[in-house]
Amino acid sequence: MSDTRFENLVNEHGRQVLNTALRVLGDANLAHDVHQEVFLAIWRRWPSYNGSTNWPAYLYRTTVRKALEAARRRGRDRAAAPERIESAGRPDDAMRAAELQKELVAALAKLSQHQADAFVLSRLEGLGTDEIAQILGCSRQTVRVHVHRALRKLSRELRTHLG
């Protein structure tokens, strides 16, 4: 069962899906699993898609949703360790960064889907409000509200790590 349109979709957007999952989860193995889940879900419903599907928007939302589902399944205590740690200072800096990554993944999994989507697209993917609004199918003001609420909830969840 081969379809070159599906293969082109994977080739064109596969790296975006993998990178988004990695930024959300901080774990390469889990990100690869999410990548496969995203495209497997699309493949199963492939005949139902039409030519008007906005693939970048659809893939962002689906990837974030599946990454957060994976984080929830994995559980807070078993959250992924970061793939790479930027801090090369004191020896305990790497442990603190890894712990913060675990806490962030767990906290993201507690947000509403809209808040998590808006936060990930804004803060992890670096997209602007207009682009996020288009992807999520809502107004710019709604995006701002979702990001604000996500930041407020995340700051409460991560208070012990933030000082």
Report the CATH number that the domain containing residue 67 is assigned in CATH. Answer: 1.20.140
Q: Is residue 58 part of a domain?
A: yes
Number of domains present in the structure of the chain: 1
Mean pLDDT (10-residue bins), the chain, 163 residues: 82 95 89 96 89 88 90 58 48 73 83 91 91 91 96 87 61
* Distance (Å, whole) CA 102 – CA 77: 8
Q: Is residue 30 part of a domain?
A: yes
Report the pLDDT value the prediction gives residue 79, as an integer from 0 to 100: 39
Q: Is residue 47 part of a domain?
A: yes
Range of the domain at 143: 4-80+90-162
Report the pLDDT value the prediction gives residue 150, as an integer from 0 to 100: 95
Q: pTM (2 decimals)?
A: 0.72
Report the pLDDT value the prediction gives residue 2, as an integer from 0 to 100: 57
Measured CA to CA in angstroms, residue 26 lies from 30, 67, 106, 109, 114 at distances of 8, 10, 12, 13, 21
Cβ contact 56:19 at 8 Å? no
Q: Is residue 85 part of a domain?
A: no
Q: Is residue 64 part of a domain?
A: yes
Residues in contact with 29: Cβ distance below 8 Å, sequence separation at least 6, in sequence order: 80
